[in-house]
Structure formats: C-alpha cells, structure tokens
Amino acid sequence: IALHRDLGARLAIAGRSAEAMEQYATLLRAEPGDVDARKQLRQLADKSGLHAVFADALVAAADNSDGAQRMALRYDAAQVYAERE
C-alpha cells in the first residue's frame, strides 16, 4: 500500500497523471476508506480531465466495501459521472 502511495505521488509530481491515477486507484481498491487516495484521485482527475478513471476507481472501491461506505462510494462515482455530462 505504501508503495502505491509513494509511486502515485512521484508520478503525479512528474506530470504523469494517468499513471499516478492507476496507483491511487489500486490503493483505493485495497483500502476503500482511504480518504487521501480519493483526494489525490480527484485532484488528478481535475488536472488531467480523466474523470472517468476517477469514477471507475470509486466503483471498484465500492465493490470491495460494504454497507454505508459502499453506498457513499457509488454515490460519489455517480456524481463524477453526472459532472462530466
């Protein structure tokens, strides 16, 4: 998990947003409650325009969670999809 976070940060600094988002998405799938990973994904999506990647990461994280967290992640993903339209 720490490796994905570190690599994501380094890739983001290097301007490689898509690759950084992959790392944070992997991290979020493993730890659906990771608020920092969500924040980083949101920032990278806003910077790069890769909102679909962010929304897909939220859905994947929701699939690995349950209860209220699952609903919150799916709701956030729906909002991201709605914002793009």
The pLDDT of residue 85 is 66
Degrees, nearest 5: CA angle 82-51-67: 70
Mean pLDDT, to the nearest integer, of 21-37?
96
CB 8 within 8 A of CB 20: yes
Going through the chain in order, the beta strands assigned E by DSSP cover none
Q: What is the mean pLDDT of residues 34-54?
A: 96
Pull the structure tokens for residue 53.
């990647």
What's the mean per-residue pLDDT of the chain? Answer: 95
pTM above the 0.75 mark?
yes
In single-letter form, the type of residue at position 68 comes to A
DSSP 8-state class, residue 31: -
Contact between residue 62 and residue 73 where contact means Cβ atoms under 8 Å apart: yes
Report the pLDDT averaged over residues 31-39.
Answer: 96
